[in-house]
Structure 1
Amino acid sequence: MSNDVTPSAHHYGITVSDLDESLAFYRDILDLDVLAEFDVGGEAFAEGVGVAGASASFAHLDAGGARIELVEYDPEGDDRRGGTVNDTGATHLGLSVPDVEAFHESLPDDVETIADGPRTTESGTTILFVRDPDGNPVEILDA
């Protein structure tokens, strides 16, 4: 493929049911900076995403060089929250922190974790999976 058509990463998208609630989690709990908030609709958008009559509200956040896009669609799609990371097609967001234990201790009590605390894997990486308000898994790992 020639370099003028080789893709490069622009953002990582997560569909959410309530943008305000999810934005509060990603901004306030995960401490990501908000880059932009905007709405998109119209026929070209609906055709582009393949959802008749679709419009959406977006928030873009800075995750240290990676752009995270939160999207709330109207109309809403099927509810698939709470899956596990080994489901085919499953996605998760991975964010690094200097100290996973300290991050875990700083979480509010109402933030769901998949295990009851961080785990150090065979590779030596310390991980902790949390769930956002829609149940999407977010992996926190050591930097």
Structure 2
Amino acid sequence: MNKALSWIGLAKKAGTLAAGEEPVGAAARAHTAKLVAVASDAAENTCRRAKHFAEAGGAAFMGVPFTKAELGSVIGRGSCAVFALTDAVFAANLAEKLAGEDPAGYASQAESLAELARRVQQRKLESRLHEKNKKLGTGKKRAPRNGARRKPGKD
């Protein structure tokens, strides 16, 4: 099985995949979709709507080289013409795997999604460190409250 298809199945198990037109539209409207993708044999109208969802939600858009039946079998459905990944790391890894197979078609999208994933991971790290600092109380050292001052020249 193709590595990219395996990655799509893993995203489904992780809960970061929205499959079908309605869930993809909802994810795009909520600005949680990071990548909107369509199958190679999807109808022209479906491709147009998916591209509109991606533009409206600020997500990347790409066509994947898999048929609706292949995508459907990976995610446990009969067929799947359009899907969205709501996690930046999953989206970047999928684009990277597709770029490994077809560098000309997916390299630029893989690069931009990798940068997005890096920024998201940096924000998560900063948020985690901020919460840790709030919890531990690390920060500016305060003077004693009893009014005592340090004498000059003494440490």
What TM-score range do you get, normalising by the shorter chain?
A: under 0.3
Normalization by structure 1: what TM-score?
Answer: 0.26
Higher strand share: 1
Normalization by structure 2: what TM-score?
Answer: 0.24
Higher helix share: 2
Tell which structure's C-alpha radius of gyration is larger: 2
